[in-house]
Structure 1
């Protein structure tokens, strides 16, 4: 069995004015508004789709009314697959047109095994799922793989149940991920109309969100994704996951999707159905002091609230400023300088918003082989960064010209004031190289904090969001050995991945000095809600470097 790649996604009720109105328009258009004039619908006479149509209809960050299908049929008695395109008609969805028209014309030998791969811009509705099941019961030699760019009305139980039913009879349902997009680009897009370097990296956040929602559908757990839209505005994708859902959704982790895998289908007889096999991703990579930026890109910690945003953030600031002491045992720091498992997991989980700041640090001197590794947390009257700088300065002031590399792993990014203190420190210590990894961004909407991070980056400080290999490295390096899981190698915070990506996007927007794309709030159960809204194509492309692939 191979691991499903980007995991399935969903297309939500959205609306120019209110959701139902927009979705009624979508359904009406799909049912009555289209014809199969291929040239006018972006499909050439040679069965290829135009570049413009492909990008417009398969972009998961927008909610288009059209439904397109790119399909590949491979027969066991014919080495050459048939590849073509179609779209919905006045009377039927693309799936039904394929089953009743395309497949019947292609089939010549009922005993031959057939592998069919669909790449659809919207997932099948509940009614289409039922007809697909009936079709597969009548055709036992057919194996079907479905890749979807979005999920159709993902909140409707009939559609959720339909997708589960398909999975239960062996249909592979997956969200289209980046290598699949590239495969479709090379295979189905008209050659005269495309450029070779197409790589839709800015699709990654929406692939992740749809993957989480599809996984919730297939595991039959509550929905975690809400999509809303208002007239003349970009869709807002909101992620809300409670503690029980996090573990269940760990499979929806793009680091398992095989970033370096080949973009052409394997010779398995399944066409693109096994585009990527099981690939664990960069598990073995461990960051070293002074290393270059790693994959997951910058993150942010947003104003959040048990009741309303300001109240929660005032509580966070108050606790950071006046409420803490440096009683190491009570703060989870052992006498052997290592942090307890419980404190590490609780304070470095990017999906929650704790009020304490922890800082793990590692110093490497050029003339020493052994690293100096310690950790601290915020105390009464000063932030963790301030105490850290004072401690480091005492260690280095005897020889300010010594060359060293310092790597910090901080549970919250530095505030604007701490950023200025870091800059002053580096001015006194010109031979110090500083790399900062953050689990969250502190008050990312505040201009002083955004400017502070931007200033640090401009003087050569590397600021990055902690990626999964960074968590793994910190677990092995800084967590108390007596307090770890029985099998420490099994620690792998896969459910962190969505929040790593969201924070990475926001940090990238800070460092590129473009508008914020992330909102963090709380629902009625005080569960953090992370909402992604990217306004236009220019902003999307500016954020492409925040791509973990």
Structure 2
């Protein structure tokens, strides 16, 4: 059962980089404590949290010569509370005193994708700020963009965890006007915590949308012919995107859908992440079939426009390699420095461990490496022939100009 709530988070929806604007240099309705009723209602870690649209943030800032704490929430027509905090923090603390800062957040909802990206950028610029986030509930965890946002935060050194009974008790003691009373756990708190923590762990490890064992062994099998009867082998693409620091930002498995090859779907997915153009990223892809000419052309255009993204393609088989039409696609990728390598035993094993929902070691089929070597030799010959043809054409063109 997926968590849900009625409507999106309070605020304009898309968090913008205007968090440094003077008009947002303070928290709206910033208080030192939260009343008991608000805490119990908004921080309850339900799997299905109806009518809880507002995100509450309890914060604590510790520095060499400063200590601050408080509670705030999203306001209608204002920025999300995470960005409002950044504006206040930058204008009131960072601009007045240097040194190391330890910031702790207790959030009723995890950050949306836009807020996560902005916070990650802020931390990348301000290395003297360390952030720890305790989350009561995950905000639409099935949405890939939200998953990517949380991984971007972790890639910038953010410590993130779901709130346990101990964390709720700590938040109660520090931030709730409790009149000296003890925190009373609600029903199923521990069960809900296990559910939230398990989902968060899956997101941070990127283990959503894995392939089944039989799917991988059929569609990535590099033998020329499979024993009959067997279904048609389709286009599958497994990918992982790494941050400049080598942390996992995103990973997934795609297949052809509605006449769109997975390469095109991947390009659209990467573009939606709005990666920082000033940072260097690595994209590693494992394909069941090498790209067709149209997909190769789109990949070449994409790579040429995004020089900060290194792309390496591993393919199990070459698609219609005997036709010059498809050979041209392979040559274009090589010519414009998009690496294409045939998968060997090591690559199959790596792909199995990363992208397959498996409970056993990779079951290598007979003559796997022999098939791989033959396909790699075939690819090398194609690239060599096309390179010579390209060189001959260039020489002919030069002679005609003289």
TM interval, shorter chain, is 0.3 to 0.5
Give the TM-score taking structure 1 as reference length: 0.33
Give the TM-score taking structure 2 as reference length: 0.45
Q: Which has the higher contact order (CA 8 A, sep 6+)?
A: 1
Please state which structure has a larger fraction of its residues in helix. 2
